[in-house]
């Protein structure tokens, strides 16, 4: 694939990954978001859904690539897609910490404008106890936060110079945690919905297929390797 085509595709990937965010910003600007009955609930679910969708898209890169050598170029988009998954996961977390907690942004912004930045801390002191309580008590919050921490570590180590500094093997070992993050994110979803609600089944099915594809690929590679070994033993 030519360099030009790769650049064009990268622009396209950026564009596609930004569409949900642009939609959210548009809904905010048009006032449609504020007209919703429970905007905070909507934003939380919207950003959480897209974090998971894009994380799954990122995990789909490698299995897709294996279908054909012609698809090898897809690897060049993996980091980009992964960083967007982190972007939406961070928006999701920020929605929870800033909006869901009841942090009064309007008052804080006014405080900053009128030269009273102390209000940032004052408001934070009000909302922090319930957040800490959630983090200590509620397992769906814990597992979701754990998934975000993994994505944070992967995002921080994503630049090429850090990869070189870490060494390919170490870097790969760390970045395999993306599977743990994806599994934790899906568990977060299941623990969040009410008993009986099956909304997360689609995300779960896609993740299962992507994980099975990897297991199948590894198994096939081993099977192919076997005859080579046996011929060697007969020779000796």
Partner 1 sequence: ADDLHAAPSQYTTTEPQTPFNKATTYNNFYEFGTDKSDPARNAHTLKTRPWTVQVTGMVKKPLTLDIDSIMKYRPIESRVYRHRCVEAWSMVIPWDGYSLSQFISFCEPLPSAKFVQFLSLADRKQMNLPGGFDWPYSEGLRLDEAMNPLALLTFGCYGQTLPNQNGAPIRVVMPWKYGFKNAKSIVKFHFTDKQPHTTWNDQNSSEYGFYSNVNPTVDHPRWSQARERRIDSTNSILPRFIPTQMFNGYSDQVASLYTGMNLKKYY
135, exposed or middle or buried, with CB in 10 Å at 0-12, 13-18, 19+?
Answer: exposed
CB 186 within 8 A of CB 203: yes
| One residue of 31, 118, 168, 227 binding partner 1 per CB under 8 A | 31
13 binds partner 1 (CB under 8 A): no
| One residue of 33, 64, 97, 174 binding partner 1 per CB under 8 A | 33
- Tell me the two tokens of residue 174: 């760390």
146 binds partner 1 (CB under 8 A): no
28 binds partner 1 (CB under 8 A): yes
CB of 202 to partner 1, least distance (A): 13
CB 91 within 8 A of CB 25: no
Dist CA 190 CA 5 (whole Å): 40
- Tell me the two tokens of residue 35: 């007209």
23 binds partner 1 (CB under 8 A): no
38 binds partner 1 (CB under 8 A): yes
130 binds partner 1 (CB under 8 A): yes
Dist CA 172 CA 178 (whole Å): 10
Which of 85, 121, 123, 84 is closest to 101 using CA atoms? 123
CB of 184 to partner 1, least distance (A): 17
* Interacting positions 85-114 with partner 1 (CB under 8 A): 99-100, 102, 104-106
* Interacting positions 157-216 with partner 1 (CB under 8 A): 191-199
49 binds partner 1 (CB under 8 A): no
């Amino acid at each position: 694939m030519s360099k030009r085509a790769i650049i064009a595709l990268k622009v396209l990937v950026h564009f596609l990954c930004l569409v949900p965010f642009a939609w959210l910003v548009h809904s905010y600007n048009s006032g449609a978001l504020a007209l919703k009955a429970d905007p905070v609930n909507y934003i939380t679910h919207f950003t959480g859904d897209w974090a998971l969708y894009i994380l799954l898209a990122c995990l789909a890169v490698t299995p897709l690539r294996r279908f054909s050598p012609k698809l090898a170029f897809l690897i060049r988009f993996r980091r980009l897609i992964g960083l967007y998954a982190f972007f939406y996961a961070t928006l999701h977390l920020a929605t929870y910490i800033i909006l869901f907690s009841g942090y009064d942004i309007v008052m804080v912004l006014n405080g900053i404008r009128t030269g009273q930045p102390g209000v940032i801390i004052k408001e934070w002191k009000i909302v922090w106890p319930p957040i800490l309580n959630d983090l200590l008590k509620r397992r769906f919050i814990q597992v979701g936060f754990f998934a975000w921490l993994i994505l944070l570590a992967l995002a921080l180590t994503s630049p090429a110079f850090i990869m070189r500094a870490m060494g390919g093997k170490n870097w790969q070992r760390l970045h395999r945690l993306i599977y743990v993050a994806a599994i934790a994110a899906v568990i977060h979803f299941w623990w969040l919905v009410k008993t009986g609600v099956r909304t997360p089944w689609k995300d779960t099915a896609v993740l299962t297929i992507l994980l099975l594809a990897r297991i199948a690929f590894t198994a096939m590679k081993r099977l192919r390797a076997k005859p080579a070994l046996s011929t060697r033993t007969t020779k000796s």
